[in-house]
Chains A and B, each alone.
Chain A
């Protein structure tokens, strides 16, 4: 065996397609399941969140306007990129969470497959969640679901990769952009996933990723007036009520989910109904 010293990675944030350090200069320590030092990821601040929201808002118009076919291809491209880096994700998941190799491999496999599943939803969800409405009059009337805007999300602690993908994928499928706080104890897969995103043709700012503490960032997400909706699936239940109270200031749509299904996509869409007269 060689005595080579391996080159370790600095885990940073992912905002607007770039990998900045937190403006706060703060980090926290992530340890392996056995207690050994693994990394010093960023302890993101309120300012980092605000920067990420600015990026997400700026990216929304373009991503929302992209065709559903195009969004589907990009989601599929993300799956392709993830597939090619399976081994790295398996290693990181095992190292930090201590699960068996078989379990880690299943999580990565499920993550790739989930991305493929959502890729296929982009150009189908509007047919299911929309309608034409037979009003009693000479009007053409239809209801189209469309994206809400900027959605913030808190990823569950585990599974750190699959839980993260189950949060971001349904949000961006419909054309929303997202700011997500990764698993606090196991943020490595999310930050490595940012590298997958960076090579997936995903426009900058569509997915923005922070690492840090839920109890610190969630209240700022809830009270931010330029965030339209919030997925609190990864937030401890004891913090749900206060988050919803703070979110009421701009009537954020706040949801939490237990499983992956098309309802997760629809929950972050708005139904728009258009009337037009029919006549000569």
Chain B
């Protein structure tokens, strides 16, 4: 006798998607000139037509942000600024289901994740930062911390609303105004967030949202009226931005790529570890910069872990993101699917061994089965390059020193995982690892109070916690 899951679809009746959207500038929606489609990656259905911001729109948004900064936001007391952020947090909670459904339709991630992770965390970021607005002089970042001015913020498609919250909440709490560009393929929740700003009666121009592609992003990065650039995305684009702003006075924070090692020592609690490995690489289809994409297994437990991991992967439910039972949803775009496919093919070509559980993928949409590669060496592309998909590269080690050497053998340094029941070993390993976030006996945990960001080529600066505030304040002694 076998148990089957009956379909448990979330209703999309809670959202109404307009056929066409404009930009949100100076507190109002303004019509765009050119448009491009945004699609549901699970069905390839065109959800809406999105405006492509050019120079005129970006100029208007920067102008609105500057005006709001000079006339309103920088003059308002922290206490009052904070209350606007609290309002935003509350409205996001009230409209959480609407945000979750919209996020899943536009992004392809399982409704369970958008409902339980993305949206609650986004609201929590506003709630947390609201409380900082009138306490900045106690943050240990100078006795008279001052905002930078207008922040240009460019966010990715993997956690659209959450990344918006990571950028907008600290910027507003510290007294900056923003021009935000959501990712080309996932603009809908940012546009719904614009409505939240209206409902919160946020002064016009404090938040401006322009939609578009990389060309719009470049206009923001190079705009002379912007004081700060905050970017989350690829290391490749991060370096382009670092070079572009080098001759300017702009300050910059970058949250870039990763190739995290998830290290399993032989005294690890194996069943919990297997759950952690699955969460580390298959959460959000592996579209996670801090994903545990390199599994390092101590040799004497490698066979047991792999056996249990494969058993567990047989039970992963891949399919309709709107189904409340779905574990792994759709790949966000055709382009991303092509990239994952190409890198997985390189894994085959370089001699690693591919394995996926038997699973039927939907005929329409963009899909990639959860995949592991064993027999991976450090020279393989799948051990060096960020795949940004549900593909795990498995390597082995004998001694703890070897594990650390392999883990640190990457230009990235965003995150790492450690699985062990021995406290002193866990703390030793967390000291040795060159990464900004270390998860010990857990993985992919996020919280507004917890600084997030990378070493080396994973970026500049931290987001979240007391540390994240400094990204939006003057008054630290360095430039």
A273 and B449: CB pair below 8 A? no
Contact with A along B381-420 (1 / 0, CB 8 A): 0000000000000000000000000000001000000000
Residues of B within 8 A of A273 (CB): 436-438, 450-452, 465
B380: CB under 8 A from chain A?
no
B361-383 CB contacts (< 8 Å) to partner A: none
Q: Quick check: A251 and B239 within 8 Å, CB to CB?
A: yes
Identify the closest chain B residue to A251 (Cβ).
B457
A272 touches B438 (CB 8 A): yes
The answer to the question of B124 belonging to the interface, with a C-beta cut-off of 8 Å to chain A, is yes
- A260-280 interface with B by 8 A CB criterion: 261, 263-264, 266-267, 270-277
B116 within 8 Å of A (CB atoms): no
Distance from A211 Cβ to chain B, minimum over Cβ atoms (Å): 25
Cβ-based interface call for B478 (8 A): yes
Contact A251 B238 (CB under 8 A): yes
Known: A143-B467, A276-B441. A134 touches B477 (CB 8 A): no
Asked whether, in the complex, the Cβ of A244 is within 8 Å of the Cβ of B242, the reply is yes
Is the CB–CB distance between A248 and B430 below 8 Å?
Answer: no
Query: Taking chain A's interface residues, is the majority helix, strand, or loop, or is none over half, making it mixed?
Result: mixed
Bound form: Cα–Cα A271–B80 in Å: 31
- Asked if B439 is at the interface of the complex by the 8 Å CB criterion, the answer is yes
Selected contact of A143 from candidates B256, B450, B476, CB within 8 Å: B450
Residue-wise, chain A 112-130 has the 8 Å CB interface mask toward B (1 for contact) of 0000000000000000110
User: Is B453 close to A, CB under 8 A?
Assistant: yes
Say whether B477 contacts A259, CB under 8 Å: yes
Residue A139 CB within 8 A of the other chain: yes
From the candidates B247, B256, B411, B477, name the one contacting A261 in the complex (CB within 8 A).
B477
Number of A-B contacts (CB under 8 A): 119
Chain B CB count within 10 A is highest, among A134, A249, A256, A272, for A272
Q: Return B260 CB to nearest CB of chain A, in Å.
A: 13
Q: Which residues of B contact A139 (CB under 8 A)?
A: 442, 445
> What B residues does A261 contact at CB under 8 A?
477
Tell yes or no: A257 within 8 A of B by CB.
yes
Q: Given contacts A228-B456, A251-B239, A274-B440, is CB(A143)–CB(B465) below 8 Å? A: yes
Please determine whether A137 and B451 come into contact, CB atoms closer than 8 angstroms: no
User: Contact flags (1/0) for B215-252 with A, using CB distance below 8 Å?
Assistant: 00000000000000000000100110011001100000
Known contacts: A228-B456, A251-B238, A263-B477. The answer to whether A141 contacts B450 by CB under 8 A is: yes
**Which residues does chain A contribute within 8 Å of B112, judged by CB atoms?**
none
Cα distance A250–B426 in the bound complex, in angstroms: 29
Contact pattern, A 241-259, Cβ under 8 Å of B = 1, otherwise 0 = 1101101111101011111
Which residue of chain A has the shortest Cβ distance to B466 in the bound complex? Answer: A131
CA distance A135 to B121 in the complex (A): 11
Q: Which residues of A contact B239 (CB under 8 A)?
A: 248-249, 251
What residues of A have a CB within 8 angstroms of the CB of B329 in the complex?
none
Q: In the assembled complex, which residues on chain B have CB atoms less than 8 Å from the CB atom of A143?
A: 450-451, 465, 467
Q: How many residues of A are counted as interface, with CB atoms below 8 angstroms from the partner's CB atoms?
A: 43
Asked if A251 and B246 make an inter-chain contact with CB atoms under 8 angstroms apart, the answer reads no
Cβ of A254 to closest chain B Cβ, rounded Å: 9
Given A275-B440, A276-B440, A141-B447 contact (CB < 8 Å)? yes
Establish whether residues B456 and A251, one from each chain, have CB atoms under 8 Å apart when the complex forms: yes
Q: State in angstroms the CA–CA spacing of A256 and B439 once bound together.
A: 33
Contact with A along B446-479 (1 / 0, CB 8 A): 0101111101110110100111000000001111
A133 within 8 A of B: yes
Write the nearest CB–CB distance from B289 to chain A, whole angstroms.
14
State which of A128, A240, A251, A276 has its C-beta within 8 Å of the C-beta of B254. Answer: A251
- B94-140 contacts to A (CB < 8 Å): 124, 140
Given contacts A250-B411, A275-B442, A277-B442, whether A133 and B456 have CB atoms under 8 Å apart is no
Identify A131's interface contact among B436, B440, B453, B465, CB under 8 A: B465
Q: How far is the CB of B81 from chain A (nearest CB, A)?
A: 23
Would you give the shortest CB distance from A218 to chain B, in whole angstroms? 14
Chain A: CB-nearest residue to B241: A248
Given A136-B124, A274-B440, A255 and B479 touching (CB < 8 A)? Answer: yes
CB of B276 to closest CB in A, whole Å: 10
Whether B450 and A245, one on each chain, are in contact in the complex, defined by CB atoms closer than 8 angstroms, is no
Q: What is the chain A residue whose CB lies nearest that of B453?
A: A271
Residues of A within 8 A of B204 (CB): none
B contact residues around A258 at 8 Å (CB): 477
In the assembled complex, which residues on chain B have CB atoms less than 8 Å from the CB atom of A249?
239
Asked, given contacts A248-B243, A272-B436, A274-B430, whether A133 binds B459 with beta carbons under 8 Å apart, the answer is no
Docked Cα-Cα span, A154 to B456, in Å, equals: 21
Output the least CB separation between B451 and chain A (Å).
5
Residue of B256, B440, B452 with highest tally of chain A CB at under 10 A = B440
Cβ of B456 and Cβ of A264 under 8 Å apart? no
Is A271 within 8 A of B467, CB to CB? yes
- B243, B254, B447: the one contacting A245 at CB < 8 Å is B243
Question: Known interface pairs A139-B445, A244-B242, A276-B426. Does A133 touch B478 (Cβ–Cβ under 8 Å)?
Answer: no
- In the assembled complex, which residues on chain A have CB atoms less than 8 Å from the CB atom of B465? 131, 133, 143, 273
In chain A, residues 16-71, which have Cβ atoms closer than 8 Å to a Cβ of chain B?
A: none
Q: Are B477 and A135 within 8 A (Cβ)?
A: no
20 contacts between A and B (CB under 8 A): A129-B140, A133-B447, A135-B450, A136-B449, A141-B450, A143-B451, A143-B465, A228-B456, A244-B242, A245-B247, A247-B242, A251-B235, A251-B459, A256-B479, A267-B478, A273-B438, A273-B452, A273-B465, A274-B430, A275-B445
Given A139-B445, A250-B457, 5 extra CB contacts under 8 A? A136-B449, A248-B242, A267-B477, A271-B467, A275-B445
6 smallest CB-CB distances across A and B, nearest first, come from A263-B477, A244-B246, A248-B242, A135-B447, A241-B247, A255-B478
